[in-house]
Structure 1
Amino acid sequence: MKFAVIGGTGLIGSQVVRNLNAAGYEALPHSKSTGVDVISGEGLDGAVAGADVVVNLTNSPTFDEASPDFFRTSMDNLLAASRKGGVGHFVILSIVGVDQVRELDYYRAKVLQEEILAAGPLPYSIVRATQFMEFMDSVLSWTADGDTVRLPATPIQPIAAADVAEAVTQVAVGAPLNGIRNVAGPEVFTLDELGRMTLSARGDGRTVVTDPTAGMFAAVQGDVLTDRGAHLASTRYADWLS
């Protein structure tokens, strides 16, 4: 089988390419750096031509109101090129609970991406993952102020990027789901608790203050970003930190 991994040089994409090639498949990474632009369409036809499966791991450069346009244009271009190229399976990566957080522009944009794929011309699979462990530093930076970091007590079920990549790989080599598979880390924490664990493990003396209004995740109600019934990965957060 031949795979075209769009966004194949990023955090998840590079690992998916490595996993597929190690398993004996032919997987090629494509991104702006390789001359493929999902917005202008440059290089797309050549990237997907002859591929059995397209794995789309591109992401919007912003999380604001511009993100829906990115996903609309990129998906329209990719699906058109994939149909022309005879692709038989189209895979994307999304977010657990994404359809339950309509307050966030980026989450609405990811729902739009899912809807475009489901309504499109190709057999498809959607892998929804919980929040990446690797993103915790960014989350801490959003609301840091001197010696204090403010975080809400939003329930989070962090998953390692390597486990996400493995889940995407498994779905990509299988039959199209024509639906969604949820994957998640093995443990649930509140975000403020996760922040304290992270700072402590790194010897960072800043204090985490619980603030229900702080940062992007303040818009999340309840535990919609977790799923104890998902396919659970094995990497625990404390082990990943160490």
Structure 2
Amino acid sequence: MNIAVIGGTGLIGSQVVKKLNAAGHEAVPHSLSTGVDVITGQGLAEAVAGADVVVNLTNSPTFDDASPAFFRTSMDNLLAASHKVGVGHAVILSIIGADQVPDLVYYRAKVLQEDILKAGPIPYSIVRATQFMEFIDAVMSWTTEANTVRLPTTPLQPIAAQDISDTVAEVAVGPPLNGTLDIAGPDVFPLDELGRITLNARPDGRTVVTDDTAGMFAVVHGDALTAKGDARILPTHYSDWLS
């Protein structure tokens, strides 16, 4: 199977390409560094030509008010180019609970991306994941002042990038879901506790203070960002990932 992985040089994309090629498929990574620009459309036609499946793992460069325009333009361009050459399956990666956090413009932008895909001309699959384990350090850095990290008690259910990549690769070579698959890690933690666990394993002189007004996750209500219902729970525990 021929698969074009747009955003195929990033954290998830590079692993997806490796897994697909190891399984005997022909997966090709595309990104700005390979000459493909999803905003201007440069290189898109060539990237998707001959592809059975297009996996879109591109991401907005910012989390601010510019993010909706990024996802609208990139999806419109990618779907148009893919439809023109007869691509039979389009896959994106999104966020569990994005539709339940309207106060975050980036989450609204991800819902917009999903809606554009659903309304488009190509059979599709959406993989929605919880927060990446690999991003916890960045989340902590956003609310660090001197040696103090302020974090809210927002429940998160972190998932390893490797588990996400395995699932995206699996979905890409399967039949289109024309729906959504939710995936999550096995454990739920309040974000402040997650910060303490991280710093206990990797001490750097900082301490965590609970502050339910701190950072972007302060606007999340309840357990909106954790798995529900028939979500697929993947095996990597945060403690094992840390070690």
With the length of structure 1 as denominator, give the TM-score of the two structures: 0.99
Q: Where does structure 1 differ by over 4 angstroms across 4 or more consecutive aligned residues?
A: none
CA distance in 2, matches of 1:13, 1:235: 19
Query: What's the Cα RMSD here?
Result: 0.6
Q: Does 1:61 align with 2:56?
A: no
Deviations 1:122-158 (A, max 9, x none): 0000000000000011001000011110000000000
CA distance in 2, matches of 1:203, 1:192: 15
Deviations 1:90-117 (A, max 9, x none): 0000000110000001000000000000
Local SS of the residue matching 1:108: helix
Local SS of the residue matching 1:126: strand
Q: Does 1:159 align with 2:154?
A: no
Local SS of the residue matching 1:61: coil
Deviations 1:47-80 (A, max 9, x none): 0011000000000000000000000000000000
Structure 1 portions without partners, runs of 5+ = none
Local SS of the residue matching 1:170: helix
Local SS of the residue matching 2:65: coil
CA distance in 2, matches of 1:135, 1:203: 17
Deviations 1:206-242 (A, max 9, x none): 1101101000100100001001541011100000000
Amino acid at match of 1:115: D
Give matches, 1:73-92, under 5 Å: 73-92=73-92
What corresponds to 2:18 in structure 1? 18
Give the number of aligned pairs: 242
What corresponds to 1:232 in structure 2? 233
Structure 2 portions without partners, runs of 5+ = none
Deviations 1:149-196 (A, max 9, x none): 000000000000010001101111110000000000000000000000
Deviation, 1:205, is 2.8
CA distance in 2, matches of 1:205, 1:47: 46
With the length of structure 2 as denominator, give the TM-score of the two structures: 0.99
CA distance in 1, matches of 2:202, 2:90: 40
CA distance in 2, matches of 1:21, 1:198: 34
CA distance in 1, matches of 2:9, 2:78: 17
Give matches, 1:106-121, under 5 Å: 106-121=106-121
How high is the sequence identity, in percent, across the aligned residues? 74
Give matches, 1:1-242, under 5 Å: 1-229=1-229, 230-242=231-243
